[in-house]
Structure formats: C-alpha cells, structure tokens
A and B are shown apart, each in its own frame.
Chain A
C-alpha cells in the first residue's frame, strides 16, 4: 500500500489557524477617563511569506530566529503541501538541530506518511505536558511573527528615557515577547521599535509576590550586572543579566524573593516553553547575544508587564508632557520655598526609607525655614510608567541642589501615584 502522502493533519491546521486568532483573553488595560489605551496596538502583518513555490525549498536563514520558517511550515501544512512542509522543517532543523518544536513537527509529518494522524504531537503515549508546552510555543511564536507592533504606537511605560539610556527592554509575559526599543534622541527621545524576541517566563506566570512562587515580577527594573557565560551553570546559557528585583516599590508592597535574571538557554535545547522558568526571563542564546550588546549595566531599563499597554504617539506625547509638567512644578515649588505648595505634591501615604509623611513634612518645614534661597536642577530625567493595576510612575534623576547654606548632588528616585486625578509622590529616596 502506498503510504499516505496526502493524509491531512487536522491538528496542525487548527494550530496554524489559532495563530491568527486574537486572544480574546487579552486583559483590558486600566480604563482611564479621557485616555485611549490600546492593549493591542499589535496588528497582524499581512503575511504572504508562506506562498512558497513548491519547488523552492531552499532554507531561508532568518535573523529573526525560527519564526519565519515556522510560519512557512504551517502555511504549507494548511495548504496540504506536506512534502514541502517536511523539507522546510528539515531545513529549520539543520539550522537549530535541538529545536524541540521543529522535531515534533517533523515527527508528525513523517508519521503522517505512515498512518493518518489527527493531533499535534500524534505519537501514541506522547507526554501531554510536553506537547502542550510545544503547542503553546508554536502559537505564541506564530502570533509574535504575524503581529508586530505598529510604528505609530509605543509601549505606555517608556515615557522618557535619560539621554544615555540607549535602549529599553519591554517584556510582555502573556505574549511571551520581549520588545527592544531604541531611545531615538534625534526624534525627541521617542522610543523606536528595534526588534522583538520570544521569551520564557515563570512556570506559574507573572506578578511575583513571594520567594519560590515561580512567577516573574511585574515592574520597572534595570540590569544590575553582566555575568559572562564562563561563570555560569549551563542552565543560564550564553549569559545572564540580574535585575534589581525587588525594587523600592516591590519592597513597599511586601514582595519577596530575589535572583530574577534575564538569561540564556541551556545547551540541550534551542528554546524553552513559554512558561518554564522559576521567575527569570529567558531568551534563546542567539537572541540574548543579540540584545546583550545593547544592555548597559546599571542603566538599561527592563520593564516587565503581563500585557503591554500601547499608546498612540499623540497620547504618548500628551502623557509625557503631563508628567514632565508635574515634575517641573514640584521642582519650582521646591525652589519657591513655599513649603505648603511643595508638600502638596506628596501623598498622605508618602513614605521614604525612614520617614512617613508627617516626619518628612516637619523636616522640610524646618529646613526650608532656614533658607534664603534654593536652586534645584534635575538632570538625566527618566520617567517610566509602572505596569499594573495601580497608576504609578517611576521617576529617576540626578538632582543638583544648591542653597545659601548647603549644596548637595544625588541621584534620586521617586514613585508617583495618581490620586484623585492628580500625580502625587508616594516614595522618594536615593537611587
């Protein structure tokens, strides 16, 4: 009997189609009056790349990883061109021999030549958890490939980068995606999309609360160190960049745990499932190497969200201006020595590392009473919106304080929170 070259793979076709579906489960962004927040400024690109002529099977080596090839493979499967799909899969495996997802597809395509198969991962008694992991990887990768951020939308978090922050990293855990943005100083510091990559995050998802909860934290972080491959266990792959989790805000919220890193992939696999780490954000080694050259220790922001909110450039500019104006009025009210106006910028719930609002207020009144004049200059200002339900913004700057009897320079970090339609400082301290 002639083997079934023409056996259909319903499971695979369904999978390929799922890639086109928009996740109805995407969570809404915090709804805010008068502001249009897009949770999906990512739009499907009109992907015609899968129209490969059957004869043209030369592997395309893509610097965007395996996603172009996966898209072509699933396109071929959908069109029931299984021989072509197998050839493409084998080409992909020549590029990444230990790519588990490609091996699974190859297994299915070969098995389909022997017997009818009706599911993804058709081998009898295949481990269901591993199949689910690989299916999840296929779906998020295809979606990542087919839906790129629109050029006129930016992640809401990147309101202002300081001039020497060349790049920013934004992670969307639900999409298993890392977006790299450049600080486009020629265009007024507008974030410019550079590239995006597939990532793995915590086994049990995001919103880390406690040590050992196998979740990835949500918040505004930066890389604190660069640990080279030679110093690391194989698990971490080609390198690791620790993040400053828990940050001041996390500590204030009582969040625990530590050792949240951005790192690579162990040598026994090309890629890990979307949810597999103990809380770290994991890239393939080639992707980690690609972004590594853009990471500045102590400087590059890494903002992790469970669902990135996108702003049109107009809304972004509006929100940025509003915050810059607010910060400027805090600064000028400080210089005015009108302590009540100055303190009006602080929340009643304000807390620094060693003072509550009352202690802080009385200290400021006392200090300001002894001043003839005060000059405050802010340099290297960065403003990042904190992902999450609360409206919180992380503001960091180099503060140059001069007065008739004291001069002081420091790097300061503030957390501003929106209370009754107004931005108030809820934390302030050395950065």
Chain B
C-alpha cells in the first residue's frame, strides 16, 4: 500500500491511498450518466474542486442517496477547506450507511484537524466496530490516542504543548472501498433515528410521520459546529488578578496589625500606621504613640485581637477595610465594627485612618 502526501499546505500529511482509488475506479466503471463519478474523480485528481463539486452536485440531484457520490462530495468539501460542510456530509452518510467505515474515518480526520480528539476517537472506534480489520482506522486511532494522551498530560502538568504538538498526520480515506465490490449498497433508511417518537395523544389520531427518506432531500442533521480548538484555561484578566492580590495584601496587612497588637509588639503595631496617620482627638503622633504603648503594654496578661467579615474596597492606592474586631484582654471581651483605611507605601499597606464605630 503506497501512501503519498498531498502538496497542499493545509493538510501537509494527509495520506492518499492510491491503491484504493484504483479499486473504486473499477467498481464504478459501470455505465454512464452524463455526470458520472469517474469524471468527478478525474477533476478531484486534477485539483479542480469547484468543477468537481458542480459535477457531483448535479449527479446527486438525480441520485440523492448515492453513497459514492456523497462520499466524493465530502472529500471535495474537505479539499476545499470547508470542514463544517464536509463534516455534515460524512455525518449524514455515516447515519445512512452505518456499516461503512470510511465516512467514520474521514469524519475522524476532520475532527482531528479541529483538535476535537474525543469526537475523532468515537468516530474511529465506530469505524473499527464496523470493520474490525480496518488498518487505516487503527493507525489513525493510534494517532488520536497519542493526541488525547498529550492533551491529558498537558492538563496533568499544566503545560501548553500546542507548539510542540506533532503535526496531524491522520489518513483521509480517498475512496469508499467497501462499496467497490457491490455498487448497490442500500442506504439504511433513517426512519427510526431521524424522527423522535411522537407519543399519541389520548384521542389517538394516527400520526403519520413521513421519514426523511421519502423526500428527495432528506432533512440534514445540524452540521456539527466546528468547535474552537481547545483552549487553555485563561489566566484571570490582569486587572482582576491585581485586585485580588491587593485584597490579599490588605488582608495580610490587617492580620499583621491584629497580630502585632495581640502580641504587644509595639514596634510592629506602630509600624503598621502610615506617617500620614492622623491621631484621634487632635493628638500629636508622639503622644498618641505613647498612649497606645502605655495602654497596650501595661495590660497584664494576654491581649487577643482578631477579626472577621472584612469588607475591602480598593481605590487606587487606598484600601478601606470594614470588619468586626474581636478584642479580648483580661475579662474584657468586645466585638466592635471598625474601619481601617490603608494606603500603599511601596510594597506595603499602611494604616492612614482608624475609625471605630
């Protein structure tokens, strides 16, 4: 079996299976409509896809169910880089002829090109279920497993290996091999799966739903949308991230202040206040510091200051935190609402205002 890479840049590694093309040509070298399939194939081979599409559409207008024609149409659409339409054609074909492995295989190739490896895998597993000895589907499935493994590893290691990911090299099947022996593959009528079962109302009028097969143009299933390539979880947008970091920093500053107070560490406690801090009651900074020092360090025993329900609002370099302050010293145990206004000073947040109410 020879393989050959098409020179098209878009699918650089898609394998063309010439030997199979030959088989097909024989299979359909039977009589002749004006718009015959060998002509379509010739046009495909010459890369004249719009003309090929025109011919195959004209062919299908008289034989809308024809598997070979629809297969070629899917192929042409693939070559014309219309994956969504191609997927629709192959999907419908695989529904009408579930015993054919080729449409599944080509669907898988299209899905894989879109990095939808889970769908590719399902399609290939269907192809193998219908034809357990289908070598190309196995090869393709191996590639898809490898891709899925890579994706899983990326998630496991939080890596982005999209740039190192091997080129997609799944083989697109060029021909509907399994029809070559018997050109008259009958479509399985999509009667049952095509329509939802309608539960008759109590008055029991007979519902005569006309299966899609009865019309010339069977209702096309919604074409699978080309899903965007899987994206890495996006890091939070910068401003939001910055804000949560600020919240975090301010909370830490608040916690350090409460801790310093609790352990009567006056240096750390007073150091939590900005130089711009306005002491209450018009005190000077110095007399305020002395008063705090006297109040805090003269307390016998332990002081415990903790807080909960902090509400932070940040405005530039200013952060206002309102919280419940729990203060315990000796037998005194209070809970008050307090507001601290922090200002940024370098990498630190310092208290500029302290409002107890």
User: Given A1, A114, A126, A352, which contacts B146 in the complex, CB threshold below 8 Å?
Assistant: A114
| B310 touching A111, Cβ below 8 Å | no
- Among A102-110, A165-173, A197-205, the one that faces the other chain is A102-110
Q: Mark B12-42, 1 if CB is under 8 A from A, else 0.
A: 0000000000000000000000000000000
CA distance A123 to B146 in the complex (A): 10
**CB-defined contacts of A228 to chain B, threshold 8 Å:** 309
Whether B233 lies near A113 (C-beta < 8 A) is no
> What residues of chain A have their CB less than 8 Å away from a CB belonging to chain B?
1-3, 98, 100-101, 103-104, 106-108, 110-111, 113-114, 121, 123, 126-127, 130, 134, 224-228, 231-236, 242, 244, 248, 251, 258-259, 267-269, 297-298, 352-354, 408-411, 413, 429-431
Residue of A nearest to B297 (CB): A354
**Smallest CB–CB gap between A380 and chain B, Å?**
14
CB–CB B308/A297 < 8 A: yes
CB of B270 within 8 Å of the partner chain:
no
Residues of B near A123 (CB, < 8 A) are 149-150, 153
- A231 contacts B331, C-beta separation under 8 Å: no
| A430-B149 contact in complex given A107-B156, A232-B244, C-beta closer than 8 Å | no
A33 shortest CB reach to chain B, Å: 35
User: Complex Cα distance A229/B329, Å?
Assistant: 30
Q: Are A231 and B145 in contact (CB under 8 A)?
A: no
B147, closest chain A residue (CB)? A110
* In the complex, chain B residues whose CB is within 8 Å of the CB of A411: 328
**Most chain A Cβ neighbours within 10 Å, of B145, B153, B248, B300:** B153
Chain B nearest CB, measured from A277 CB (Å)? 14
Are A225 and B308 CB-contacts (below 8 A) given A3-B141, A114-B145? yes
Give the size range of B's interface with the partner.
Answer: 35 or more
Q: Residues of B at under 8 Å CB distance from A?
A: 138, 141-142, 145-146, 148-159, 233, 236, 241, 244-245, 247-248, 251-252, 255-256, 259, 263, 300-302, 304, 306-312, 326, 328-331
Given the known interface contacts A98-B155, A110-B152, A226-B308, the answer about A430 and B328 at a Cβ–Cβ threshold of 8 Å is: yes
The winner among B149, B159, B241, B304 for most chain A CB atoms within 10 A is B149
How many Å lie between the Cα of A248 and that of B303 in the bound state? Answer: 11
- Asked if A225 and B252 make an inter-chain contact with CB atoms under 8 angstroms apart, the answer reads no
Q: Is the CB of A430 within 8 A of B307?
A: no
Q: Could you show 22 A-B contacts with beta carbons less than 8 Å apart?
A: A1-B138, A3-B138, A3-B142, A103-B154, A104-B156, A107-B152, A110-B152, A113-B141, A113-B142, A114-B142, A225-B308, A228-B309, A231-B311, A232-B247, A232-B251, A233-B245, A234-B236, A235-B248, A244-B306, A258-B256, A298-B326, A429-B301
Q: For residue B152, which residues in chain A have a CB less than 8 angstroms away from its CB?
A: 103-104, 106-107, 110
- B312 proximity list for chain A (CB < 8 A): 231
Is A111 within 8 A of B149, CB to CB?
yes
* B149 / chain A contacts, CB cutoff of 8 Å: 106-108, 110-111, 114, 123
